[in-house]
Amino acid sequence: MLKTILGLLDRFLDRLQLKGSLQITYPDGQTRRYGDGVGEVVHIELQSWRTLWRIVVTPDPAVPEAYMDGDLVFHEGDPGTFLKVVYSGVTEAPAQDFHPIFSADKLRYLLRRLHQFNPQSRARANVQHHYDLSRTLYDLFLDEDRQYSCAYFENPQVSLEEAQIAKKRHLAAKLLLEPGMRVLDIGSGWGGLGLTLAQDHGAQVRGVTLSDEQYRLSRRRAKEAGLEDRAQFDLIDYREIDGQFDRIVSVGMFEHVGVNHYGEYFKKARTLLKDDGVMVMHTIGRTGPPSVTSAFIRKYIFPGGYIPALSEIMSPVEHSGLHVTDVEVLTDHYAETLKAWRERFMARRDEAAALYDERFARMWEFYLAASEAAFRYQDMVVFQVQLAKSKLSIPRTRDYITDFDRRHGGNQGEMRAAE
């Protein structure tokens, strides 16, 4: 049996044609080497045959779980370099060579609508699982405005703080904001975007979230900034909102809607928009066809979460009565964002372990590394989709976006997080 397991893994790794050097020390003390030996060097040790068997059968979530439990030990490299080497060869292996290692994805795909069934009670529980973790944890790696979504790196030299300000400015440009407009922020996070739209652009903002922590901090920040009359935050599901808005913005929330509910989401957005209203949705997406959520991410990080293909977004939009008026694909911007987050987290990793425990710190470390790798080496991107009730609500050319960015560049106020 052990020879069979090793044979499967050997054949799989050899056919990947890895770039770099992956060394694996097995439970019997034997070390085997894979890859072309050029570039990154990663040396891991697997401490039990049971761990090896689980990795062969279902590498996701078995690899991150083995690291979390201390059954996968790094002698050289770290989760980031490990994933870089592994992903370097995935595209070169024929599809049939992934069996049986990736066969579990077929079952996950069949079950994905069950996993993403997201009524209001379940939606709130899923959000709280991640966003109601200790406020101190997010202080370890986010910018002071607590922007927990892809930043906009206009050039590679800018800081994370500058890139997050640029992201908010870019969204404001696409919203075609004018002073006094009513703006609905669906999934308003810790309030940074809504407060910026109110302070810098004179908007009347209503932000909604399902996270208790985000709700409390957003309201506190609005009060401390003297913006309570222009920025209101509520603990409510977007499906319960009434009224009409000039603009709707939604950043990093669509990933939690659930593929079963896309039609409901866009139809609700249409009812909330005025006839000349504009909506901008910023969401993680994939450039490939529909797929499945990583088992590790679904179990430990974002229960109920899903990364849509563009085709999965467009079909329900078409049936909602909204018009797609602009689509922008941010390619490696999130990879750079996650790199900054991971570097900041690792610099204060001991604080995360003290806040929770070592297993949690390893889980979060792998989550940030795996997410960065997905955007850098796989098909993950960010879609910014602009929608309108009337296509004539949008200018004829895209010059207005560039003009707005240039006009407001460097002038955005920074909403600082409450300590």
Q: What is the pLDDT of residue 356?
A: 96
In tens, the pLDDT along 305-343 reads: 899 999 999 999 999 999 999 999 999 999 999 999 999
Q: What is the pLDDT of residue 106?
A: 55
Q: What is the pLDDT of residue 90?
A: 60
In tens, the pLDDT along 98-136 reads: 444 445 555 555 555 555 556 666 666 767 777 788 999
Question: Any long-range contacts for 6-12 (C-beta under 8 Å, 24+ apart)?
Answer: 6/52, 8/56, 8/100, 8/101, 9/52, 9/55, 9/56, 11/97, 12/93, 12/97, 12/98, 12/101
Which residue from 328, 324, 325, 368 is spatially nearest to 345, judged by alpha carbons?
Answer: 368
Name the band, by pLDDT with cuts 50, 70 and 90, for residue 94: very low
pLDDT(352) > 60: yes
Distance from C-alpha of 374 to C-alpha of 376, rounded to nearest angstrom: 6
Distance from C-alpha of 101 to C-alpha of 82, rounded to nearest angstrom: 18
> CB–CB of 238/267 below 8 Å?
no
Mean pLDDT of all residues in 396-417: 74
SS3 of 155-204: CCCCCHHHHHHHHHHHHHHHHCCCCCCEEEEECCCCCHHHHHHHHHHCCE
Which residue from 298, 302, 311 is spatially nearest to 262, judged by alpha carbons?
Answer: 311
Which residue from 152, 169, 199 is spatially nearest to 409, judged by alpha carbons?
Answer: 169
Q: What is the pLDDT of residue 57?
A: 86
- The whole-model pTM stands at 0.90
pLDDT(242) > 50: yes
Distance from C-alpha of 46 to C-alpha of 59, rounded to nearest angstrom: 13
> CB–CB of 72/42 below 8 Å?
no
Q: What structural domains does the chain harbor?
A: 2-102 (3.30.1050), 120-408 (3.40.50.150)
pLDDT(96) > 90: no
In tens, the pLDDT along 376-405 reads: 999 999 999 999 999 999 999 999 999 998
pLDDT(91) > 80: no
Mean pLDDT of all residues in 155-175: 96
Taking each helix axis as running N to C, give the angle between helix 333-347 and helix 160-175, from 0 to 180 degrees, rounded to the nearest 10: 140
pLDDT(264) > 70: yes
The mean predicted confidence, pLDDT, of the chain is: 90
Distance from C-alpha of 330 to C-alpha of 211, rounded to nearest angstrom: 27
Q: What is the pLDDT of residue 126?
A: 67
> CB–CB of 372/80 below 8 Å?
yes
pLDDT(95) > 50: no
Q: What is the pLDDT of residue 411?
A: 42
In tens, the pLDDT along 25-65 reads: 999 999 999 999 998 999 999 999 999 999 988 899 999 99
What DSSP string describes 119-140?
-HHHHHHHHHHHHTS-HHHHHT
Token pair belonging to 384: 């910014």
Q: Which helix (H) or strand (E) holds 224?
A: helix 212-224
User: What is the number of residues in the chain?
Assistant: 419
**Peptide bond connecting 156 to the previous residue in cis, omega within 30 degrees of 0:** no
Which residue from 156, 129, 140, 20 is spatially nearest to 80, judged by alpha carbons?
Answer: 20
